[in-house]
Structure 1
Amino acid sequence: MESAVRSRLAQLLRDAPDDAEAIEFEGRWWTWAAIRSAVAGIAAELRAAGLGPAGRVGVVLENRPEHVCAVLAILTSDRCLVTMSPLQPPERLAADIGRSTVPILIASPDVLARPGVQDAAAASGLVLRLDSGGRIERAAGAMPAEPVPSPGTAVEMLTSGTTGPPKRVRLSDRQLDAGMVSGGQAPPADKLLRSGVSLVHTPLVHIGGLWGILATLYVGRRAVLFPRWVLETWVSAIEKYRPRASGLVPAALRTVIDADVPREKLSSLKAITSGTAPCPPEVADKFQNMYGIRVLTTYGATEFAGAVAGWTLPLNVEWWDRKKGSAGRAFPGAQLRVVSPDSGEELPAGTVGILEIRSAQAPGGAGHWQRTSDLAEIDEDGFLWIRGRADDAIIRGGFKIHPDAVKTVLERHPAVLEAAVAGKPDRRLGQVPVAAVELRVGARPPDPAELIALCRQHLIPYEVPTEVLVVEQLPRGPSMKVSRPDLLDLFAAG
């Protein structure tokens, strides 16, 4: 079956006017003519190397227009994109490249200059260097004699690794196409391109960023691509292009609130979508009260090629006051249920269990219930409530501790903006809970003993963290979620 996403991108490369603006990056617009030229050069190198349809191409994917061109060249030639994160330290990136065994790797000169990266890529295949102008050349290595294809796979993508080492997930053409339909993305019926601009600042190497740029191009809208999210740059783009909607993770929402950005600078916005991590309802309420802009949270995962549930603007207007804190309802084409972790039987409304999802976006397709790692409940009105993660549990001497329970108590302290909890290895008990807290602006730093005493007031004794650190900033991954491996490194470092 022909892929709608691949076909639409190919149509744009073929028919979009040469002088039409496509992607703005650091103040300069890439037109469709510039994109077409770069894509043609990259595709020519892939053909010259002898890589056929379904061939796997690794890209150390940076938030840059020429890297978007590499993605377009791969997808529109029916090949498979294998994403590599430039945000990893060189040693971890080289190891990831080695494990992936891609026959061709595309990366920037800067990335290839990092210790061990080019050698790791050349050990398994051909290395192509892509410069900032979109020009590509051979850097090292050679194509293997018999590269292993990946038919039917559009993208092999790394998850964020927030709760452990990153893993690679295969996303099929069917999943990408279904995600566009579920998300309400559709090209204009009577023209090739449409007006308006979307701001894309999430790392492209994660599903939110890749989905953001592909969906923007798919519907024929222009994109402003950020190397990374910076408050001042984002506000300037909102003022300049006046979009009606944008996306911010909860940590960025807090940054906007704390900076007290003048209301008139954001006056074009009607809604902010927020994903990757649960958004506290008090943050959403404060943002709406300050700016008159509703925060629409979404729920999804890399395995589902994006969001499968969330809030729409009409839903938020009707239900938010009664359902604040919920992750919203299932999007069209998706079904949600909660099951017992022991028997697998579906649980009644209002009961906490393991969340399962049935959708064409799921790896197994619309006929298969895909189990997640999230604890959730679905109420009598169909609203989804995330209650933690089943695989986050800390087992302390046989007793199970859910980090969110400890986190909630620590965040009761008036000085604490956000807390994070992890299980630290312990020779005697297996694991013990430890926590770090980030403070509100201007707050007096509390003594760790004071925070532990607070936990003793509200938690079972075995749930009380053995250590609490007060830090300037919690360690976060590129998606702005707290990274538990990096959190544990803080305790290892003393």
Structure 2
Amino acid sequence: MTEQFIENIRNVLATRADGRGIEYRGIWSSWGEVGAFGDKIEAALEAAGASRKGRIAFIIHNRAAHAAALTGLLAHRRAASFIYPIAAPVQMAETLRDLRPVAIIADVDDWAKVSDVAAEIGAAGIILDGIDKAPRLEGKSDVPADILDAALSFEDAAVEVLSSGTTGAPKRIPMPARILDRAALSAPGAETEGEQPVQISVWPLSGVGGLCLFAGSAATGTPLVLLDRFSVPEFVDAVKRHQPPSLGLSPTAVTMLLNGEFDPKDLSSVKGIFGGSAHLDPDIQDQFEAKFGIPIYWAMGATEFCGTIIRWTPAMRAEVGNSKRGSIGTAMPGIELRVADVDTGAILPTGETGVMEVFCPQIRPDWVRTTDLVAIDPDGYVFHKGRSDGAITRGGFKILPEKIIEVLRSHPAIADASVVGLPDARLGAVPVAAVELKNGQTTTPAELSDYVRNALAPTYVPTQIRIVDALPRTPSLKPSLRDVRALFEDAAAA
């Protein structure tokens, strides 16, 4: 049985061939051109002898040819596994040896990094050099039968999307086509009334945020504007040209817009910001809404649930106003939430803080325990309190990094902060912090230590605070805890 999501994509390609499809660097490709390019991808795979049993590895960028190739893979029912293009060549090679794909789709520059390992593992290459050029086939697919028999099928996973990689190496999350309907519904602004005239995406296609926007566009024919990365001038220019009524942004993008130098009238078409992926400081939200007059509707999702599970909507905001300040909203329709004791697993009463458990029958038939610490008020509004897996045990005292981050972010000079634990021979672990300053602001590590000491117990004061030009981030713009930790480990080794 062909899933409705795939049928929707095929219908868009067939009935909206002349309509705007994907814009990249100011040039539009119609849905017809997108579909034709996807057909060329399938033709190249067939010419390579790429078995339908095997997966396709895809080093995917936010570019028109890449989005069109993904559309073709889905329309032709090929299973794709994403690889982050920012990964080091040695990491790409290790991943490809583990995946054993029948083919690798890569941009011309990325192909140079993986051509040797492709020959080693018997994977054909499909090389992309823009949507206006036919994909180039390199080599033949020669993957052993036993590898093919053990591979994920399209029904198992239409795509394998990558988690954010905030705390370590990104995890592969299989998403069957039947689940991608949920991704489309999780796209920012999906619950607003009426069709979206255009979507502007800065989220990487390799992650669930970018996949949600892509899925929503491909399944409904909504024009999609792709940006390689978030740049305030480029983003504002896209908004001025396309006049979208809503936007999907990360906390970093919200902060960069708040601190950017442009006329607030440039965002006059925007009636709402639908954001997620990480914590948004309520003070930043207040400042943004006051400066631009645009309400922010924050949300929380997870790759494992294929998108958003908790969100704000305009109707909710109209009902409760600012009385739930700091909340990430309520559960989406069809999703149930509860809070459990971190240590015993006992279900906790309303209002108490514990680990969040989620029942999402579209994804799994059972309750799933997350690592997010939350409290749910009597009206069902969820307040995020940190992560249980990020707790630092310092001399027997449990420390939640989010508490330190919250205090550091409240300092007038700090734009953002990240806190990790480092091993300590005497105490077991100690917190350290890296901070990013607001434009034109100054402070010192000593001043910041005193600032934390005045707000929290002594055990929470970081043993080191480093001021950096910019926090290292994942492709989804979350602070990369692994790379933050490396900043301190590298300094200690020097």
CA contact (8 A) 1:309 1:330 kept: yes
Q: Which residue of 2 aligns with 1:159?
A: 163
Q: Which residue of 2 aligns with 1:245?
A: 246
Q: CA deviation at 1:454?
A: 2.5
From 171, 174, 184, the counterpart of 1:170: 174
CA contact (8 A) 2:184 2:212 kept: no
Q: State the secondary structure of the residue aligned to 1:355.
A: strand
Q: Which residue of 2 aligns with 1:276?
A: 277
Q: How does 1:247-396 map to 2 (within 5 A)?
A: 247-362=248-363, 364=364, 367-396=365-394
From 405, 414, 417, the counterpart of 2:415: 417
Q: Which residue of 2 aligns with 1:234?
A: 235
1:102 aligns with 2:106: no
CA contact (8 A) 1:49 1:143 kept: no
CA contact (8 A) 2:348 2:354 kept: yes
Contiguous gaps of at least 5 residues in structure 1: none
What is the CA–CA distance in structure 2 between the aligned matches of 1:181 and 1:454, rounded to whole Å?
Answer: 42
Q: State the secondary structure of the residue aligned to 1:488.
A: helix
Distance 1:149 1:49, change over 3 A: farther
Q: Which residue of 2 aligns with 1:472?
A: 469
Q: State the secondary structure of the residue aligned to 1:164.
A: coil
Contiguous gaps of at least 5 residues in structure 2: none
CA contact (8 A) 1:61 1:204 kept: yes
State percent identity of aligned pairs: 36
CA contact (8 A) 1:54 1:78 kept: no
Query: Which string of whole-angstrom CA distances, capped at 9 and with x for unpartnered residues, describes residues 145-173 of structure 1?
Result: 32233232121111111111211111122
1:45 aligns with 2:44: yes
Say how many residue pairs are matched: 482
Q: Which residue of 1 aligns with 2:25?
A: 26
Q: CA deviation at 1:120?
A: 2.4
Q: CA RMSD in A?
A: 2.1
Query: Which string of whole-angstrom CA distances, capped at 9 and with x for unpartnered residues, describes residues 49-103 of structure 1?
Result: 3445453111100111111122112111222111111011222222222222222
Query: Which string of whole-angstrom CA distances, capped at 9 and with x for unpartnered residues, describes residues 293-347 of structure 1?
Result: 1101111011111111110011122224100110101111111111122332321
1:74 aligns with 2:73: yes
Distance 1:303 1:435, change over 3 A: same
CA contact (8 A) 2:183 2:212 kept: no
What is the CA–CA distance in structure 2 between the aligned matches of 1:455 and 1:200, rounded to whole Å?
Answer: 36
Distance 1:84 1:381, change over 3 A: same
Out of 139-148 and 41-50, give the one that drifted further. Answer: 139-148
Q: Which residue of 1 aligns with 2:89?
A: 90
What is the CA–CA distance in structure 1 between the aligned matches of 2:424 and 2:99, rounded to whole Å?
Answer: 33
Q: Which residue of 2 aligns with 1:488?
A: 485
Q: State the secondary structure of the residue aligned to 1:414.
A: coil
- Scaled by the length of structure 2, the TM-score of the pair is 0.92
Q: CA deviation at 1:122?
A: 2.9
Query: Which string of whole-angstrom CA distances, capped at 9 and with x for unpartnered residues, describes residues 17-67 of structure 1?
Result: 3x3221111111112232222111111122233445453111100111111
Letter paired with 1:458: A
What is the CA–CA distance in structure 2 between the aligned matches of 1:258 and 1:182, rounded to whole Å?
Answer: 28
What is the CA–CA distance in structure 2 between the aligned matches of 1:254 and 1:220, rounded to whole Å?
Answer: 31
Distance 1:373 1:291, change over 3 A: same
Distance 1:378 1:122, change over 3 A: farther
Distance 1:243 1:181, change over 3 A: closer
